Structure 1
Amino acid sequence: MLIPVINRSHHPLPAYQTAHAAGMDVRANLTEPVTLKPLQRALIPTGLYMEIPVGYEVQVRPRSGLAYKHGIGIVNSPGTIDADYRGELKVLLVNLSAEDFIVQDGERIAQLVVARHETAEWQPVAELTETERGTGGYGSTGSR
């Protein structure tokens, strides 16, 4: 699949780091480092603009290494980039650790997963079909 992209950063395009990876690492495009204090969040620019095909989205997900080593996550994880968005891709990072974290220019800050999706319509009905689970909610499966 080819996705048209404008790269206004001085970094390489997002890329898969291994042959069977689902996500491509995306880099921060900064003129100066950004310090995230504990529980602080910030929109980090990437310099990327893309034209996602209709019927697809690009999911923005945390990088496991940043999460494990530094407590850095993404507030709206996974974030969704819709096919009709043409603005700059920015990543909403959050520092969930007790230490300051400095985001450097060119640092791999998130991963992007291209995913197909369906467009649904709601069908109002008076009742739903019965299932074994029924209305059992949080933690209800396997508890009998």
Structure 2
Amino acid sequence: MTAVAIRAIWEDGADETIGLPSYESAGAAGADVRAHLPEGDIVLEPGARALVPTGLRIEIPEGFEVQVRPRSGLALKHGITLPNAPGTIDSDYRGPLGIIVLNAGQEAFTVEHGMRIAQLVVAPVVRAQFEPADALGETKRGESGFGSTGSG
């Protein structure tokens, strides 16, 4: 497994005891990131969303991105998801790391200080060169859209 160094700094006054993002099992692809809410919890009513601070800023090497993804346990048990999943943090962004969280569940959910709220997956970036064309190559599927490849 290849390791990529992601440099992290704490925002001024951040509670560093919550820890940096961390892999919670030997085979984990995503590092869990925690909510930084020293001034109080966030209560998300059903259908509500909020930007949850992490207290961090990160530096991603050029040629990589960090994808922000929901935690499956929160999604299954409480309906907590990320509306823009996977979110992308670009290598040239140096601002505060915040997680957009959505309560798609049926009951209010409380985001607590230090709670593992999302996971971060480091991925290589391949950039395309978009080119104008007069026509596109033909395929068996052609212009058939959503649901055209079969049931289910």
Q: 1:14-57: CA deviations, max 9, x gaps?
A: 11111111101000000211100110100000011111111111
Amino acid paired to 1:92: I
Return 5+ residue gaps in structure 1 as ranges.
none
Aligned to 1:101: 109
Alignment partner of 2:130 out of 122, 125, 135:
122
**Within 5 Å, which residues of 2 pair with 1:50-65?**
50-65=58-73
| Counterpart-to-counterpart distance in 2, 1:90 and 1:119 | 25
* TM-score relative to the length of structure 1: 0.95
Alignment partner of 2:20 out of 4, 13, 17:
13
**What's the secondary structure of 1:94's corresponding residue?**
strand
Q: CA deviation at 1:7?
A: 2.8
Alignment partner of 1:23 out of 30, 38, 44:
30
Q: CA deviation at 1:111?
A: 0.3
Q: Name segments (4+ residues, structure 1) moved above 6 Å.
A: none
Indicate the RMSD between aligned Cα atoms, in angstroms: 1.1
Amino acid paired to 1:121: Q
Aligned to 1:112: 120
Aligned to 2:74: 66
**What's the secondary structure of 2:73's corresponding residue?**
helix
| Counterpart-to-counterpart distance in 2, 1:113 and 1:2 | 13
| Counterpart-to-counterpart distance in 2, 1:60 and 1:109 | 10
The aligned length equals 143
Return 5+ residue gaps in structure 2 as ranges.
none
